[in-house]
């Protein structure tokens, strides 16, 4: 993650930026450029999105969203974050209809897929940020070690998972097959 020298202070300014082919997030009014994902990162993120999206659609639970989807989590200073994969429950989306801008809420589930150049300190800070904004479950997915760590709101530490990850608290009946995710 790279810090820009000229801060963008609002979500509206971020949305109005011309498309330069880069991904950005806004953290407390400061613009951060995100490095493009590598092949393995993209493959695992796509596989995870596919599993979650199919389950969500088949059970009419809400909507699963891909990377690049920004969530407006705080105003003044504005924070807009974009996870690799997210899910928002159907009942929380009703008031937004076909909302075109950044969704002004925290997702129910977020997955962050770790890239080789990610720093542990930054990953930890992002997970804590998601939880502080009200995300119920954060998955830390590491393609290099083929591991998934699950962080739940109200819990101080994440738990490593092998076999199956039970996400029933946000996706009733859904279990993620960790080995299959990294196959």
CA distances, 13 to each of 1, 28, 82, 134, 180 (Å): 20, 13, 16, 24, 41
Domain boundaries, the chain: 37-69+81-182
- State the DSSP H helix or E strand holding residue 30, giving kind and residue range, or none if neither: strand 30-34
3-state secondary structure of 74: strand
One-character DSSP codes across 120-145: HHHHHHHHHHHHHTT-SEEEEEETTT
Residue 96 per-residue DSSP state: G
What does the pLDDT read at residue 24?
Answer: 87
How far apart are the C-alpha atoms of 174 and 165, rounded to whole Å? 8
What fold is seen in the domain 37-69+81-182?
A: tt1808, chain A (3.90.1570)
pLDDT digits (tens), the chain, 183 positions: 444 555 667 999 999 888 888 888 888 898 888 888 889 999 999 999 999 999 999 999 999 999 889 999 999 999 999 999 999 999 999 888 788 899 999 999 999 999 888 888 888 899 999 999 999 999 999 999 999 999 999 876 656 666 899 999 999 999 999 999 998
- Is the pTM higher than 0.85? The answer reads yes
What does the pLDDT read at residue 79?
Answer: 94
What does the pLDDT read at residue 36?
Answer: 82
What does the pLDDT read at residue 34?
Answer: 85
């Amino acid at each position: 993650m790279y810090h820009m020298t000229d801060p963008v202070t609002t979500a509206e300014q971020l949305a109005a930026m011309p498309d330069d082919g880069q991904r950005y997030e806004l953290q407390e009014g400061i613009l951060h450029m995100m490095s493009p994902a590598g092949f393995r990162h993209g493959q695992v993120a796509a596989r995870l999105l596919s599993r979650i999206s199919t389950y969500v659609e088949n059970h009419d639970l809400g909507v699963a969203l891909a990377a690049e989807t920004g969530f407006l989590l705080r105003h003044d200073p504005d924070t807009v974050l974009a996870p690799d994969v997210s899910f928002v429950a159907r009942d929380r989306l009703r008031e937004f209809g076909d909302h075109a801008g950044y969704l002004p809420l925290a997702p129910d589930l977020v997955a962050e897929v770790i890239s080789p150049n990610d720093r542990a300190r930054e990953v930890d800070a992002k997970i804590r940020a998601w939880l502080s904004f009200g995300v119920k479950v954060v998955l830390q997915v590491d393609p290099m070690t083929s591991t998934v760590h699950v962080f739940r709101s109200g819990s101080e530490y994440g738990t490593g998972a092998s076999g199956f990850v039970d996400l029933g608290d946000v996706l009733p009946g859904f279990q993620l097959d960790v080995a299959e995710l990294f196959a």
